[in-house]
Structure 1
Amino acid sequence: MKYELPDALTVECEGPVRIVTINRPDEFNAVDKDLHWALAHVWRQVAADTDAAVVILTGAGRAFSAGGDLDWIISFLDDPVARDESVREGAEIIDEMLRFPLPVIAAVNGPAVGLGCSVAVLSDVVLMSDTAYLADPHVAVGLVAGDGGAAFWPLLTPILRSREYLYTGDRIPATTAVELGLASRVTAPDDLLSESRRLAERLAAQPAQALRSTKRVVNMYLSQALGGPMQAGFAAEIATMQSAEHRDRLLALRENAVNRENAVRKTTPREKEEAR
């Protein structure tokens, strides 16, 4: 089957297994406009692939996904049409993942932040490298965690524990993520993809109808529980996107990023080598 997706999201076929890779490694797989669109549309394409049985979702390079691309997010400050479209598409990503009939194994190879964290946690099985972490820093940039965290985490974790991480945006190490119920298990970095493939092959060998129907029933609980909170979350996220505090936080982040880039450019080759 030919997949019609931008280069930022690739699909590799290995027998009945489809390896979906978030493919912006130089940007730590930050989600820009093209990747956001792809994450909303890949699931129907894989579901239409009659030879597919299981999906492994992972990131190219050192990150799973660093969350929203800063330049893309900043563009929303003066483009309300694009802003609202991104929120609508974000809801579509979550809805499509919940409806997707095949099991999805997230192979979290590095940081999974913001939307990257939500996409990982929405998977059926979450395998994490022991050097990876989860984080949802929406509140830290003046936003409601509307694309999954605030609505979804309390279904999986003790509310008292998830509040702290949602409110602060602190990193959740892989072992803590398993303890909280946001991940299934931890592997060594070099074993992550091989463990994911082994599990994928095992699931692909299961009776297909029984496996898909079991997933559908389990996800009924999630869909029913998420209905109200997700709608409220996205509405609140749109409201905070228009706040002065959000604008100030984003512009400060961009200024810090520019200052870091300028500092790197001024670094001599010898200093760069010593920094390594």
Structure 2
Amino acid sequence: MSNPSILLNIENNIATITLNRPEVFNSFNRDMALLLQKTLDDCEQDKTVRAIVLTGTGKAFCAGQDLKEVTNPEHNPGFKKILEEHYNPIITRIRNIQKPIIGAVNGVAAGAGANIALACDVVVAHEKVSFIQAFSLIGLIPDSAGTFFLPRLVGFQKASALAMLGDKVGAIQAEHMGMIYKVLPQDTFTDEVQQLAVKLAQMPTKALGLIKKSLNASLTNNLEQQLALEAKYQIEAANTADYKEGVTAFVEKRTPKFKGH
């Protein structure tokens, strides 16, 4: 029996999802895309999970679409199905899950793989990693929300050039242009990702989810709409047990012990 294309490990309130087709640089076929969707759903529904790490096996994070699938005359699902049933639902899940998701980019992130990483809440990479909008190099356009998130991360002009030219962007450059949160040392990458995940898993999960919803809405709201939404979610956050614990701990000058609700 072949190894599963998606691995899931849950420990200490952290779900680590690993893309696991290293022989093809973790590129997606239909089975892998559908399994990732199911795994994300499982993590969303599991109340013990308070943070999610998305990473890859081997030398790559993800090389995007497995081109052997789309060039196979007998089993080619076609781009309509690939986008509507594979990548778009993955991006939607990443943005809608009310738990923090770390994109732990362990190797090259190309095409849809780059854009799946950029859709995560906190994106880190080690110094040997590169990102590439490889679509134009084979006559395609960026998908998986690449044309949505990239210009918002790096600015319109830079995003336009990266999308059209297909330039390779190193991790350090990606951090400097605001594409990712932080570059971590390669030799301590796994440990530092774990430390970051532990920190997020111990924070007030409900508040983090409301932050995520607020940021999502800010992409399309005007100022008045966003102010009204902030007021709504702030009231909701203020009614959580974690808010009460946070305030009490502050007054008592101790470290808060958040429970995620």
Instruction: With the length of structure 1 as denominator, give the TM-score of the two structures.
Output: 0.75
Query: Is this contact kept in 2: 1:98–1:223, CA < 8 A?
Result: no
The residue type equivalent to 1:132 in the other structure is: V
Query: Is this contact kept in 2: 1:129–1:192, CA < 8 A?
Result: yes
Query: Is this contact kept in 2: 1:127–1:192, CA < 8 A?
Result: no
Aligned 1:211-226 pairs, distance under 5 A: 211-222=208-219
The residue type equivalent to 2:117 in the other structure is: A
1:7 matched to which residue of 2? 4
Q: Distance in 1 between matches of 2:13 and 2:142?
A: 35
2:67 matched to which residue of 1? 70
Q: Distance in 2 between matches of 1:95 and 1:69?
A: 21
How far 1:116 sits from its partner (Å)?
A: 0.7
Q: Distance in 1 between matches of 2:6 and 2:92?
A: 19
Q: What SS is found at the alignment partner of 1:64? A: strand
1:140 matched to which residue of 2? 137
Name the Cα RMSD after superposition: 1.9
Aligned 1:1-276 pairs, distance under 5 A: 7-75=4-72, 82-89=78-85, 90-222=87-219
Query: Is this contact kept in 2: 1:66–1:113, CA < 8 A?
Result: yes
How far 1:177 sits from its partner (Å)?
A: 0.7
How far 1:62 sits from its partner (Å)?
A: 0.9
Q: Distance in 2 between matches of 1:146 and 1:60?
A: 23
69 and 198 in structure 1: CA distance in 2 versus 1, 3 angstrom threshold: same
How far 1:81 sits from its partner (Å)?
A: 5.5
Q: How many pairs does the alignment contain? A: 219
Normalized per residue, which structure has more helix? Answer: 1
Percentage of matched positions with identical amino acids:
27
Q: Distance in 2 between matches of 1:80 and 1:21?
A: 25
Q: Distance in 2 between matches of 1:59 and 1:224?
A: 34
The residue type equivalent to 1:86 in the other structure is: I
191 and 223 in structure 1: CA distance in 2 versus 1, 3 angstrom threshold: farther
1:235 matched to which residue of 2? none
Q: Distance in 2 between matches of 1:156 and 1:190?
A: 27
Q: Which runs of 5+ in 2 are unaligned?
A: 223-261
How far 1:132 sits from its partner (Å)?
A: 0.3
Q: Which runs of 5+ in 1 are unaligned?
A: 1-5, 226-276
Query: Is this contact kept in 2: 1:8–1:24, CA < 8 A?
Result: yes
Q: Distance in 1 between matches of 2:154 and 2:114?
A: 14
223 and 27 in structure 1: CA distance in 2 versus 1, 3 angstrom threshold: farther
Q: Distance in 2 between matches of 1:128 and 1:223?
A: 28
The residue type equivalent to 1:131 in the other structure is: K
